[in-house]
Amino acid sequence: MDISRRDFLNMAGALGLLGLSSTALFAGDSKEVKAKIKELTFSDVVKFEPKGKATILHICDLHAHIKPLYWREPSTLISAKNLVGTPGFICGDSFMEHYNIKAGSLDQYFDTYNDFSALAKKFGKMGGISHMKPIIDHVKKERGEKNVLLLDSGDTWQGTAVALKTKGEAIVNAQNYLGVDVMVGHWEFTYGKERVMELIEKLDGKFISQNVLDNDPFSDTFEESVFDPYTIEEIGGAKIGIIGQSFPFTSTANPKRFTENWSFALRHESLQEHVDHLRKKEKV
Categorize the per-residue pLDDT at 31 as very low, low, confident or very high, splitting at 50, 70 and 90.
low
Residues 32-43 have pLDDT tens digits of 666 666 677 777
Residue 20, beta-bridge partner list = none
Long-range contact list for 136-141, CB < 8 A, 24+ apart? 136/57, 136/178, 136/179, 137/1, 138/1, 138/42, 138/46, 139/46, 139/48, 139/55, 139/57, 140/179, 141/1
Contact 102, 23 (CB under 8 A): yes
Name the range with the highest mean pLDDT among 59-63, 66-70, 208-212: 208-212
Q: Which of 50-54, 103-107, 131-135, 197-201 has the lowest mean pLDDT?
A: 50-54
pLDDT of residue 26: 47
**Quick check: 138 pLDDT over 60?**
yes
104 vs 5: which has the higher pLDDT: 104
Identity of the amino acid at 14: A
Evaluate if residue 152 carries a pLDDT over 90: yes
Which CATH fold topology does 51-62+128-284 show? Purple Acid Phosphatase; chain A, domain 2 (3.60.21)
Q: What does the pLDDT look like over 75-86, one tens digit per residue?
A: 999 989 999 999
Q: Indicate the pLDDT class of residue 25, thresholds 50, 70 and 90.
A: very low
> Under a CB-based contact definition with an 8 Å cutoff, are residues 54 and 237 in contact?
yes
For the stretch 193-247, pLDDT in tens is: 999 999 999 999 999 999 999 999 998 899 999 999 999 999 999 999 999 999 9
Question: Does the pLDDT value for residue 3 go beyond 60?
Answer: no
Instruction: Report d(CA 158, CA 41) in Å as an integer.
Output: 34
Give the model's confidence band at 15: pLDDT under 50 very low, under 70 low, under 90 confident, else very high.
very low
Higher pLDDT among residues 50 and 277, named by residue: 277
Contacts of 49 (CB under 8 A, 6+ apart): none
| Start-end of CATH 3.60.21.10 domains in the chain | 51-62+128-284
d(CA 259, CA 251) in angstroms, rounded, equals 7
d(CA 218, CA 68): 47
pTM for the model:
0.82
